[in-house]
Amino acid sequence: MAEIKLVSLKKSFGDVTAVNEIDIDVKDKEFFVLLGPTGAGKTTTLRLIAGLEKPDQGDIYFDHEKVNDLGPAIRDVAFVFQYYTLYPHYTVRQNLEFPLKSNLRKTPQDVINKKIEEVAKILHVEHLFDRQTVNLSGGEMQRIAIGRAIVRTPKVFLMDEPLSNLDAKLREEMRAELARLHLDLGETFFYVTHDQIEAMTMGDRIGVLNEGNLLQTGTPDEIYNKPINTFVARFVGSPMINLLDAEIEGQKLIIGKRDRAMECTLNDYQCKLVGNAKSKSVILGIRPEDIIVSKEKQGNNSFECTIYFKQSMGVEDILNLKVTDELIFKAVAPTKFMANVGDRIFANFKMDRSHIFDYESGKRLEL
Ligand SMILES: Nc1ncnc2c1ncn2[C@@H]1O[C@H](COP(=O)(O)OP(=O)(O)OP(=O)(O)O)[C@@H](O)[C@H]1O
Ligand SMILES: [Mg+2]
């Protein structure tokens, strides 16, 4: 069992603050995903947990035991890196055996054989045992690298973008396999990625990191449906959320100041929110799937627009809709909607599903 607790953890390299006083509590057996763009400080956080870097400030606990001063071997973590770190001229079998043969653990050969056979089965690589790793495909190599992490039973698994070098189809397969592996092993995973789909599909909880700052921690559902600011709102979800500049006017939001192109009627809760707002300028966030298209006008928050561009995605179409030259947003339409570029249609904003952010800070308005 292993809980990981990071308390006010900070690490700088010269002028760059890679990790800025972050607090994270990872529960035992949890699949925790740290999500952020390049340079956010994800790898640094993992290296701090593994003991490969020393924090400038803050503490790291494994199961309530402070591990700041323990070296990587004693912390007993397994690390899977972004780039394959196999020994190229060893066979798959030798690569898998390697962690069990270290001087720290004197494991008998029959135990080793049994263990690597088990692991090979889980990862479907038994047929590769005698191959040299240099000749394997990317997907096979990454499976072996994961295999090497799981042959022994470490306290925690640390994974640094293990799928980022695989092609899209293999990535999708491996996402499911990793999530399954986590269930089977029943161990704590701390997984780092810049890919929001990986985070949303695999994580029990997600922490969103940007420029060393932990912006929000929550379940995929919380992160998606209650993003704390416009950065998180934009980072999670595809197609991306629409963020529209708006002005509060009584119980309405006016979008497109000059020509008052759209006047959105707010619900009771949103009226309270904007009643407390510091500034009249806000940003309305609405996800493309929360804009329903129709051929006829439907109620208050239904706006006439032109289909400006259409992307077919198979099961659905992504429509770029234009109200005025400055006011363009995306909506998702079922393919059976049958509309084409240039058609005049109506976009119905499901305001109950929308988000309102402060214009200056980008923070979500809350009561
Ligand atoms: N050893 C180092 N020396 C100097 N700067 C470093 C070092 N390691 C990381 N940094 C800097 O710290 C910041 C965070 O880096 P880090 O590698 O943790 O980001 P990341 O989120 O893993 O990014 P990526 O998605 O590109 O892997 C970056 O600005 C990086 O340049
Ligand atoms: Mg990294």
Q: DSSP states of 319-342 as a string?
A: EEEEEETTEEEEEEEEGGG---TT
Are 4-235 and 242-358 the same fold in CATH? no
In this structure, which residue's CA is closest to atom 24 in ligand 1? Answer: 38
Q: State in Å: Cα 65 to ligand 2 middle.
A: 27
In b/e form, how buried is each residue of 72-108, taking b as 16+ CB within 10 angstroms? eeebbbbbbbbebebeeeeebbbbbbebbeeeeeeee
User: What's the confidence (pLDDT) of residue 103?
Assistant: 67
User: What's the confidence (pLDDT) of residue 287?
Assistant: 98
Amino acid (1-letter code) at residue 191: Y
Structural contact between residues 273 and 367, judged by C-beta atoms closer than 8 angstroms:
yes
Query: CATH second-level architecture of 4-235?
Result: 3-Layer(aba) Sandwich (3.40)
Question: Is residue 83 in contact with ligand 1, taking CB distance under 6 Å?
Answer: no
Q: d(Cα 102, Cα 95) in Å, to the nearest integer?
A: 12
Distance, C-alpha 256 to centroid of its chain: 32
Q: State in Å: Cα 4 to ligand 2 middle.
A: 20
In this structure, which residue's CA is closest to atom 26 in ligand 1? Answer: 38
Spell out the per-residue pLDDT of the chain, length 367, in tens.
699 999 999 999 999 999 999 999 999 999 999 999 999 999 999 999 999 999 999 999 999 999 999 999 899 899 988 776 788 888 999 999 988 887 666 788 998 999 899 888 888 888 999 998 888 888 888 889 888 888 888 889 999 999 988 888 888 888 998 999 899 889 999 999 999 999 999 999 999 999 999 999 999 999 999 999 999 999 999 999 999 999 999 999 999 878 888 999 999 999 999 999 999 999 999 999 999 999 999 999 999 999 999 999 998 999 999 999 999 999 999 999 999 999 999 999 999 999 999 999 999 999 8
Q: State in Å: Cα 62 to ligand 2 middle.
A: 22
User: What's the confidence (pLDDT) of residue 190?
Assistant: 97
Question: Is residue 44 in contact with ligand 1, taking CB distance under 6 Å?
Answer: yes
Q: State in Å: Cα 49 to ligand 2 middle.
A: 14
Give me 159's structure tokens: 């994974």
- Which CATH class, in words, describes the domain spanning 242-358? mainly beta
Domain positions in the chain: 4-235, 242-358
Nearest to 194 by CA among 35, 29, 83, 74: 35
The pairing of beta strand 188-193 with beta strand 156-160: parallel
Residue 119 burial (10 A CB sphere; 0-12, 13-18, 19+): buried
